[in-house]
Structure 1
Amino acid sequence: MEIKLFLKIHPADNVYVALQDLPTGFEVVEEDGNSFFLKQAVAAKHKFNLRPLRQHEEVYMYGVLVGKVLEDTPEGSLLHTHNLRHAAESFQLGTRKLAWPKPDITAIKDKTFQGYHRSNGTVGTANYWLVIPLVFCENRNINILKEALNEKLGYVLKSKDYSREVDQLLAAYQSGADIATVNFADTAVGEPVKTIFPQVDGIKFLNHEMGCGGTRMDSDALCGLLAGYIVHPNVAGATVLSLGCQHAQASILREEIAKRDANFDKPLYIFEQQVEGTEKELMQKALKATFAGLVQANQLKREPAPLSKLCVGLECGGSDGFSGISANPALGYLSDMLVQLDSAMILAEFPELCGVEQELSDRCETEELAEKFMTLMRQYNAKAEADGSGFYANPSPGNIRDGLITDAIKSAGAAKKGGSSPVKDVVDYPELANRPGLNLLCTPGNDVESTTAEVAAGANIVLFTTGLGTPTGNPIAPVIKLATNTKLFEKMPDIIDINCGTIIEGTESIEQAAHRILAELIAVASGEKKTKATLLGQDDFIPWRRGVSL
């Protein structure tokens, strides 16, 4: 394939993306033979305009409005914060646009994965036991249970222990040696201890800082989120510790579980400290119940399941100027393939859909769904603005440094993860979003809050793209991380699973990358391969307080 130096993403765009560092004076020769010279050096991932722009004139990328220039801007100028501000199209209820280019799925239609089949028809890509506090007051007791159970049962990763490095530093200090000269010995990454229960992937402890002291809306949402984890196909059962007097009551948790699974039949043990009395009584009962649950969970085994039993979370974090033209479109192509097999796909992070509301609302199967999506977007942005911010403030310093200058630029690229299929459902946090097809889930743009919510909504595996590098995982769902560029993949191989920089380099097409990602996804879903996040024990879990989080 031809290696390109710059790219015009959509025919309607009036900017190019630099695919490699371009120097001042570089001659840009367009397909129609027109040429011009760069006024400034443009680093890879950044943008430059292909014709002169007058002050306040609109800038288009991905075929949508992404900003307006702050001053007259000659052709070939670097577009950055000094001369570009956020702008996005308004949106309203439009006509249904449900026709879409369906990719060929002949090669994958009969593929399966090895999963854990649950009585309600869902299939897990893993098999975990949960230990959960209903309120932050129980975090200490949860930690005590963790210390008592994990090491004895073989659920400790050696990679998390850096005590040998400390021993080396102590020895150097005590001998008077220069600390800077200490060379640490290599240790195995994610080397597991032999476990007592081989069919149980682990015990996960979901500590958090909520449950009381906040609003009733927050505590109710917490119960819904925790219920999503308990009914999750990757979970065999749960032990829950409650203090007793907090807002997040056990009765509310049970109601939320019933909403998600009316015939819920997993082992669920709930203990209230104010009922049990002493800590000893509480902990001994919790240990007995948890051990009995593990014995039961260990009886399950993986069996073949169709790909329709996958519910895939589509996530991005630490995004860069290549995200929207490499890894995200590859996920979009994969999404369109899996949708045809009746898999469920979840596209979240509503602050990062700003500017593409019209397209997504038009793709909603019904006007009711379109109205719901637009209402959630307007309410979220209005809340952010009322608190002194707005979606326009979403891009982080790292995003901006690597080419995502406005939220609309970031959003237009982020939305590519959702492919082009019709939207089957629009779901508010923290409800289930596991309907076959593409689901839109209202979450923040915050990586961990959003991933936490996607898994609660039913995602039994998550595909996470990053251009800058993000050490993020989830306690119960495998998180496969994809680099948007080869430099990142080679720089941070300990946290990245797949390289999509091949698309930028022209050695692989988006379609080819999508098929490669699918092969990895099936291997991970089948337990044949562990993600880097799993090997590193990256069990990130942050419930969303329903305030402004961009």
Structure 2
Amino acid sequence: MVNQSWLKLHPEDNLLVALRDLPAGEVITSGERTVTLSKEIKAKHKLAERDFAEGDKLYLYGVLVGKALEAIPSGGLIHTGNVVHAAETYQAKQGETHWEAPDVSRWQDRHFMGYHRKDGSVGTANYWLIIPLVFCENRNVETIREAMVDQLGYGRKEVRTVDISSLIKAYQAGADEATLRGIDPLAGKQENEKDQRVFPNVDGIKFLTHDGGCGGTRQDAQVLCELLAGYITNPNVAGATVLSLGCQNAQIPLLQAALSKRGAAGEKPVIYLEQQQSRSERDFIAEAVKKTFLALTKANHCTRAPAPLSALTLGLECGGSDGFSGLSANPVLGQVSDWLAALNGKPVLAEFPELNGVEQSLINRCRTPELAEKFAGLMRAYSDAAEAVGSGFKNNPSPGNIRDGLITDAMKSAGAARKGGTGPVADVLDYAEPVTQPGLNLLCTPGNDVESTTGLAGSGCNLIVFTTGLGTPTGNPIVPVIKMSSNTSLANRMSDIIDFDAGPVITGASSIEERAAQLLEFLVDVASGRQTTAAQRLGQDDFIPWKRGVSL
């Protein structure tokens, strides 16, 4: 890739990728073809390697990603006006699954410092949860947050919100509009030193407010309880305080049954409180605070100890993707995924709408025909549900994706799937099912960033890597989310939210394997608590349960 201005990703491709802005008139030689650009092609976008007639198939990453809507000349820009989404159909598993695992001798004896749980899992953090079973309890949860977080030393150490006190003072003193315009609300930002934690071995109290639990379908309540059970049993969690109103669909026994299914009944302390059985709201909140405080004194006994890298369950996520995501950040993460799988760790690839067009490849990688059938069934059911409401996977790319070179869903998917590396598929999971099998897992979630990361944490991931080409402030309440940029320009422009830059792969300054090794080292530091992520520092605790309606 060194010194190249364009790239052909696969021998079967008939599209080329611009690695920098290519001016009109530039001549490109691809094999025996000479391509002259009639117009400027922006970096990240695709151009035709040859002349296309209407209806011709377009290939990228070696897979079908679209069809020409009209004649496109050699060197022409590929855009939504001349190309439509198209993807290959898929069928039953073909052939045997073979994989030559990569050499992981350099990582074999590496450890991270984690929190060991009774069930054998290991956390990269140690949190206590406050969970409402229904949206009616959200206000009580917020009251508990106000009562406990700052006083226990869990307030955000660095103030990053704007300070309008200078504006207020100037306005009250009679300042005119011109004076007010000249005041910088960031000028007075200072470090806000909080007291040290009362419980130094508890990383924080997290609050999972949501708008579910009642008023929707019974299936929504069931899925919500399965998801909440996943959060309670996540290795990053010490225990939970659960607030119930009493009359909602998501009843306490429903959550307890979900916990029991996971073999977790009695494994972790869970405090259940029902407001309709309390004397008053004030007493209800006081009881929740006191019981939680007492539970934290015990959670504080757990300390970090060495754990093998096989104890990592790594969520593979992308969002705000661009035309470089599939060239740098995603394959870098895919290399880490392969190393982790070879170490008997558990990489987890989610976002099923963004696997459209690469289904057959993943089906063939499934270890058994039964897993292949389950994956195909989940994909078809999801696609059918989208089609039934007049949508479809073809509608997945966002305006930002399209603006930065991801024109069709199949094009986006072909790059997104590279996060999963090349290893065999060890298990296929529906939303909120727990990850149990070492090796690559496929988890059915939407492509929506927060709904997907919420699902990854609920299935047991103790780390998440989130690749992005455009930038996104997404985080998770209980799982460290490492944000990796596909290009250095983004890493520099949004340095406050980006943790790791894969951009050197695009410029040729680093190989995929070199950057992947650096990423894995960074993950070990995050898992050990030696590094905090930008999302953690910014308090980005995003939690949105999927209601199983159509969400792309």
Determine if the TM-score, normalized by the shorter chain, exceeds 0.5. Answer: yes
- 1:191 to partner: Cα distance: 6.3
Counterpart for residue 408 of structure 2 = 406
Counterpart for residue 173 of structure 1 = 171
Q: How far apart are the structure 1 equivalents of 2:193 and 2:495?
A: 16
- 1:182 to partner: Cα distance: 1.5
Counterpart for residue 353 of structure 1 = 355
Q: Check the 8 A contact 2:127/2:202 in 1, yes or no.
A: yes
What is the identity, as a one-letter code, of the residue corresponding to 1:353? L
Q: Check the 8 A contact 2:256/2:265 in 1, yes or no.
A: no
Q: How far apart are the structure 1 equivalents of 2:505 and 2:215?
A: 49
Q: Which runs of no fewer than 5 residues in structure 1 stay unpaired?
A: none
What is the identity, as a one-letter code, of the residue corresponding to 1:361? I
Q: How far apart are the structure 1 equivalents of 2:96 and 2:187?
A: 58
- 1:109 to partner: Cα distance: 1.0
The aligned runs of 1:321-470 (5 Å cut-off) are 321-470=323-472
- 3-state DSSP of counterpart to 2:321: coil
- 3-state DSSP of counterpart to 2:149: helix
Deviations 1:253-291 (A, max 9, x none): 001011112454211100001112311221121111100
The aligned runs of 1:131-210 (5 Å cut-off) are 131-160=130-159, 162=161, 165-175=163-173, 176=175, 178-183=179-184, 184-185=186-187, 187=189, 193-210=195-212
- 3-state DSSP of counterpart to 1:60: strand
Q: How far apart are the structure 2 equivalents of 1:481 and 1:193?
A: 29
Deviations 1:205-261 (A, max 9, x none): 100000000000000000000000001110001000000110001001001011112
- 1:515 to partner: Cα distance: 0.3
- 1:173 to partner: Cα distance: 2.5
Shifted more, 465-474 versus 433-442: the winner is 433-442
Counterpart for residue 83 of structure 1 = 82
Q: How far apart are the structure 1 equivalents of 2:412 and 2:192?
A: 34
Q: How many residues matched?
A: 548
TM-score scaled to structure 2, two decimals?
0.97
Counterpart for residue 74 of structure 1 = 73
Q: Check the 8 A contact 1:339/1:436 in 2, yes or no.
A: yes
- 1:171 to partner: Cα distance: 2.5
Q: How far apart are the structure 2 equivalents of 1:2 and 1:161?
A: 39
Counterpart for residue 485 of structure 1 = 487
The runs of at least 4 aligned residues of structure 1 exceeding 4 Å deviation read 188-193
Deviations 1:363-398 (A, max 9, x none): 000001001100100110110011110000000000
- 1:179 to partner: Cα distance: 2.3
Deviations 1:294-347 (A, max 9, x none): 100111110000000000000000000000010000011110001011001110
Counterpart for residue 119 of structure 1 = 118
- 1:160 to partner: Cα distance: 4.8
Counterpart for residue 48 of structure 1 = 47
Counterpart for residue 27 of structure 2 = 27
Counterpart for residue 10 of structure 2 = 10
Counterpart for residue 100 of structure 1 = 99
Q: Which runs of no fewer than 5 residues in structure 2 stay unpaired?
A: none
Q: Check the 8 A contact 1:434/1:457 in 2, yes or no.
A: no
- 1:110 to partner: Cα distance: 0.8
- 1:95 to partner: Cα distance: 1.6
Deviations 1:471-492 (A, max 9, x none): 0100000000000000100000
Q: How far apart are the structure 2 equivalents of 1:518 and 1:487?
A: 22
Q: How far apart are the structure 2 equivalents of 1:427 and 1:329?
A: 23
Deviations 1:166-197 (A, max 9, x none): 11111333341522212332646796642111
Q: How far apart are the structure 2 equivalents of 1:113 and 1:406?
A: 40
CA change 1:81–1:510 in 2 (3 A) is same
Q: How far apart are the structure 2 equivalents of 1:397 and 1:34?
A: 32
CA change 1:316–1:81 in 2 (3 A) is same
CA change 1:501–1:20 in 2 (3 A) is same
TM-score scaled to structure 1, two decimals?
0.98
Deviations 1:21-42 (A, max 9, x none): 0011111122x35322012211
Deviations 1:115-172 (A, max 9, x none): 0000100000000000000000000100000000001111110445646x21111133
- 1:97 to partner: Cα distance: 4.3
Shifted more, 187-196 versus 212-221: the winner is 187-196
- 3-state DSSP of counterpart to 1:544: coil
The aligned runs of 1:209-224 (5 Å cut-off) are 209-224=211-226
- 1:104 to partner: Cα distance: 2.0
Q: How far apart are the structure 2 equivalents of 1:278 and 1:171?
A: 41
Q: How far apart are the structure 2 equivalents of 1:430 and 1:225?
A: 5
What is the identity, as a one-letter code, of the residue corresponding to 2:117? R
Counterpart for residue 293 of structure 2 = 291
Q: Check the 8 A contact 2:323/2:405 in 1, yes or no.
A: yes
Q: How far apart are the structure 1 equivalents of 2:366 and 2:290?
A: 49
RMSD, matched Cα: 1.4
Q: Check the 8 A contact 1:318/1:470 in 2, yes or no.
A: yes
- Provide the identity percentage: 55
Q: How far apart are the structure 2 equivalents of 1:519 and 1:276?
A: 50
Shifted more, 279-288 versus 488-497: the winner is 279-288
- 3-state DSSP of counterpart to 2:101: coil
